[in-house]
Chains A and B, each alone.
Chain A
Amino acid sequence: MSHAIVTRGLEKRYPKGGTYAVQGVDLAVDHGEVYGFLGPNGAGKSTMVRLLVTLLRPSAGTAHVAGHDVVKDPAGVRASIGVALQDAAIDPLMTGRELLELQAVLHGLSRRASAPRGALLLERVGLSDAGDKRVGEYSGGMRRRLDLAMALIHEPRVLFLDEPTTGLDPSSRLLLWDEVRRLRDQGTTVFLTTQYLEEADQLADRVGIIAGGQLVAEDTPEALKAQVGHPHVHVVLTNAADRERSLQVASAVGDPRPGVTDHCLDVSVQDGSLELPALVRALDDAGIAVASLDVVRPTLDDVFLQKTGAHLAEEAVA
């Protein structure tokens, strides 16, 4: 099998509601690839994950994961994958260690083998000290890490992480990112959904953008950004009255358009840093006072805006 995940015309319509949560998605994720599935709330990310991990049956289309058909051979899929779902249910009455051992036994490890395996994974996600505390007493970040450890208990070849860092503080997020990179280095295929542009940009080898259940764009983060085109210079004027004039002046350097407030304009340029001095000089020569000037490079949000006509809510990540 040449791909870790392949889907053809995958569709899901929930019995209630009747609209498509996932519509006609074709995917091909390579072995050892980190695939970022990016989309806003309600885009269909979780539905896609639940289809691929055999928790939902497709309404139409096919999907193969690790070489197994999700409908015809769900057991084969389950044996090859690790999953951390978005709303991780973790029994609050059990300890982290007990949960890992339970997960190990459910995955066919012998009871004797499951204890050292659990201990190993606790250590790996930095929960050794909390291993014997009940999960009800864990913080949100600790639960997420335990959830990841449970997904990794059987060294899965394909790992699904549904919004693994939503609600985590910046340092926990970085820890999780490191873990994902390490798994990729070991050859694990990772299918990761996220609402965060930066997360997709940082982690994913390839990004698929999903909106309204449809895959609207797919490529490496760099290629996607290149698609939307050039960087622009964001200019904030001291006086709004200067804007008409500044638009004329800037057209000598790039392709200007009015910004969102009447104090600013955006000048599309070829490179960014190269044109900056010329622009500063031109504005200065025309006697236009400038409050600030920034080179803005295209982001995945621009890609998103271009493909869907809507912004993704960008969240600041430290």
Chain B
Amino acid sequence: MPPDTQSSMPVSAPPAPALPKSGRRPRFVDPAAVLVLVRRGFNEILRVPGASIPGAIAPIIFLVGLTMVFGQATDIPGYGTDSFLAFVLPVALLQSAGFTGGATGVNLGRDIEQGWLDRLLLSPTSRSTILAGLVLSAAARVLIPVPPLLVMAIVLGAPMPSLVGVLIILAVVPIFSAIAATWASVLALKFRSQQASPLIQASILSSILFSTSYAPLELLEPWMRTIAELNPVTYVIEGLRQCFVGEISWTVTWQAFAALGGLGAVFVTLALLGLRRFER
């Protein structure tokens, strides 16, 4: 076979690059790698025309619709507010976060099917870096649908949260999105395909709704009250709700973060195990 003289590949050897020494142990979490992975996560919504719309619109429809339909519920004593909109706004915020996190898992399922995850696993990056890239991209992406949702709610009469309230919202919502993404990744790694999508979305939605989502604890049916008391997401909802209903309390705040921390610790462990077991 004669060498191809038309070759567009130049034959001169490239200058030696500044390469890291091979054999170096990868860092537990490599910030530069996380950053490029997060940036890739944004492609799904920024480079696909119209892709950010359903995630932004669905929680608004849910919030407005629910308020229209069940708005009279706050006439029952116990809600602590006469605005059902303010009462369910935290649920809409968490749905937004849960939807974004769930989408991360669905996309991971697709990436597994197509072999993209293999590419990531083949690099010397640590598994924890790969997971961080996935879940932090969910945390960052949820910041796109949240402002329109909040503005819409305030326009429709929800009270303006205080500065501390805004800070709590801006912490809790992205963290919840990251946790939902971690859980969704656990399922995606288990099923290794997009077929896990209904399970991902249904489980996240249930975790949000089987709580004090629509009514305070005392007004729930007894079975629902039991579930809500056991469901850590109840504390997350209450943590957000205090920004719109009643006063912000330290106890409710730290309970919310403790619930997030507990959920995060469990799911991160499961996800790292799943990534490690992925090569079987």
Q: Do A and B touch (CB < 8 Å)?
A: yes
Interface residues of A (CB under 8 A from B): 15, 53-57, 68, 74-76, 78-81, 83, 85, 87-91, 93-94, 101-103, 105-111, 113, 116-117, 120-121, 123-126, 134, 150, 154-155, 157, 171, 174-175, 177-179, 182, 186, 202
Q: How many residues of B contact A (CB 8 A)?
A: 48
Interface contact B26-A75, CB-CB below 8 Å: yes
Note all chain A residues with C-beta closer than 8 A to B10. Answer: 123-124
Interface contact B14-A175, CB-CB below 8 Å: no
In whole Å, how far is A46's beta carbon from the nearest beta carbon of chain B? 11
Given contacts A94-B43, A106-B123, contact A85 B24 (CB under 8 A): no
Interface contact A78-B279, CB-CB below 8 Å: no
Note all chain A residues with C-beta closer than 8 A to B280. Answer: 15, 56-57
Note all chain B residues with C-beta closer than 8 A to A109. Answer: 17-20
Given contacts A55-B279, A106-B120, contact A175 B7 (CB under 8 A): yes
* 16 further A-B pairs in the complex, CB-CB below 8 A; given A57-B279, A79-B22, A110-B18: A53-B122, A75-B25, A78-B122, A80-B22, A83-B122, A89-B114, A89-B115, A89-B119, A91-B40, A105-B32, A106-B33, A108-B124, A109-B18, A111-B36, A113-B18, A126-B9
Interface contact B116-A89, CB-CB below 8 Å: yes
Note all chain B residues with C-beta closer than 8 A to A126. Answer: 7-9
| Dominant secondary structure at the B interface | loop
Interface contact B124-A107, CB-CB below 8 Å: yes
Interface contact B48-A93, CB-CB below 8 Å: yes
Task: Please tell me if B218 contacts chain A, counting CB pairs below 8 Å.
Answer: no
Note all chain B residues with C-beta closer than 8 A to A57. Answer: 279-280
Q: In whole angstroms, how far apart are the Cα atoms of A117 and B125 in the complex?
A: 18
Contact of A171 among B4, B16, B48, B121 (CB under 8 A): B4
Task: Please tell me if B82 contacts chain A, counting CB pairs below 8 Å.
Answer: no
Note all chain A residues with C-beta closer than 8 A to B3. Answer: 178
Quick one: which of B19-69 are within 8 Å of A by CB?
19-20, 22-26, 30, 32-33, 35-37, 40, 43-44, 47-48
Note all chain B residues with C-beta closer than 8 A to A78. Answer: 122-124
Contact of B17 among A81, A117, A134 (CB under 8 A): A117
Quick one: which of B181-227 are within 8 Å of A by CB?
none
Interface residues of B (CB under 8 A from A): 1, 3-4, 6-11, 13-20, 22-26, 30, 32-33, 35-37, 40, 43-44, 47-48, 111, 114-116, 118-126, 279-280
Q: In whole angstroms, how far apart are the Cα atoms of A116 and B13 in the complex?
A: 15
Q: CB-nearest residue of chain B relative to A121?
A: B14
In whole Å, how far is B25's beta carbon from the nearest beta carbon of chain A? 6
Interface contact A56-B17, CB-CB below 8 Å: no
Note all chain B residues with C-beta closer than 8 A to A178. Answer: 3-4, 7, 9
Note all chain A residues with C-beta closer than 8 A to B11. Answer: 182
Interface contact B23-A175, CB-CB below 8 Å: no
Note all chain A residues with C-beta closer than 8 A to B36. Answer: 101-102, 105-106, 111
Interface contact A56-B24, CB-CB below 8 Å: no
Q: CB-nearest residue of chain A relative to B113?
A: A89
Q: CB-nearest residue of chain B relative to A102?
A: B36
Given contacts A56-B279, A120-B17, contact A88 B124 (CB under 8 A): no
In whole Å, how far is B36's beta carbon from the nearest beta carbon of chain A? 5
In whole Å, how far is A105's beta carbon from the nearest beta carbon of chain B? 5
Note all chain A residues with C-beta closer than 8 A to B13. Answer: 182, 186
Interface contact B17-A113, CB-CB below 8 Å: yes
Q: In whole angstroms, how far apart are the Cα atoms of A123 and B14 in the complex?
A: 10
Note all chain B residues with C-beta closer than 8 A to A182. Answer: 9, 11, 13
Instruction: Point out which of B13, B20, B123 has the most chain A C-beta atoms below 10 A from its C-beta.
Output: B123
Q: CB-nearest residue of chain B relative to A73?
A: B23
Note all chain B residues with C-beta closer than 8 A to A89. Answer: 111, 114-116, 118-119
Q: In whole angstroms, how far apart are the Cα atoms of A205 and B35 in the complex?
A: 42
Note all chain B residues with C-beta closer than 8 A to A179. Answer: 9
Given contacts A75-B25, A87-B115, contact A174 B30 (CB under 8 A): no
In whole Å, how far is A34's beta carbon from the nearest beta carbon of chain B? 14
Q: In whole angstroms, how far apart are the Cα atoms of A55 and B278 in the complex?
A: 8
A and B contact pairs by CB, cutoff 8 A, 13 listed: A53-B122, A54-B279, A57-B280, A68-B23, A78-B124, A83-B122, A110-B18, A111-B36, A113-B17, A123-B10, A124-B10, A150-B119, A155-B16
